[in-house]
Amino acid sequence: MKVLKKQSNSHDCLICGVDNPYGVHASFYEMEDGSLISLFHFDERHQSYPERTHGGMIAAIIDETIGRTIWISKNPTVWGVTIKLEIQYHQAVPYGVPLKCIGVIDKSDQISFHGTAEIRDQENKLLARGSALYMEIPLSKIALHEEHPSDINVDVPDEVREIN
């Protein structure tokens, strides 16, 4: 499927932060079908039991993917604050291998949105699925201090043009 746009990263976010030494360093792509796909891999710092990714990390990538999906239909200055997050764990999620998380918005109004996402491996096997409800809020209302767009709008160019 064709990539329409790559979303920006941040410096310190646990999921997309390019400078976070413990982060996942995920990249997010807006797709031609209206979905958002994150490409990432967990590593041994994200484990719970040996060779398994911690459930909290799995929930975090699902939460981040759904929350960013709203940027496809609205301005990226609209952010979502998670109100409710539900995760279903289908298989052990390994670390050290390429994974993808596919998110879609299934309901949106002027104050909230709801979406779903699922993590799949390279063989397209379903590993985890989640749904979440968010309150829409501008970044200026989330940040405790003055807005710092250079901290959250970090462009990381790559050559990804299609994701299967």
User: In whole angstroms, what is the distance from residue 52 CA to residue 44 CA?
Assistant: 8
Task: Give the model's confidence band at 140: pLDDT under 50 very low, under 70 low, under 90 confident, else very high.
Answer: confident
**What would the two tokens of residue 78 be?**
């609209």
Counting Cα atoms < 13 Å in the Cβ hemisphere of 132 gives: 27
Collapsing DSSP to helix, strand or coil, 45 comes out as helix
**Worst-scoring range by mean pLDDT, 15-19, 66-70, 78-82, 90-94?**
78-82
- In the three-class reduction of DSSP (H, G, I as helix; E, B as strand; rest coil), residue 96 is classed as coil
> Which pTM was predicted?
0.94
Question: Tell me, what amino acid is at 136?
Answer: E
Distance of alpha carbon 30 from alpha carbon 114, whole angstroms? 17
Domains of the chain: 3-145 (3.10.129.10)
Burial of 130 (0-12, 13-18, 19+ CB in 10 A): buried
3-state secondary structure at position 59: helix
Those residues with Cβ within 8 angstroms of residue 69's Cβ, 6 or more apart along the chain or in another chain = 35, 36, 103, 104, 105, 115, 117
Q: Return the DSSP state at 151.
A: H
Q: pLDDT band at residue 39, thresholds of 50, 70 and 90?
A: very high
How far apart (Å, rounded) are the C-alpha atoms in residues 44 and 73?
A: 35
Beta bridge partners of 84: 133
Confidence of residue 155 (pLDDT cuts 50, 70, 90): confident
Return the DSSP state at 46: G
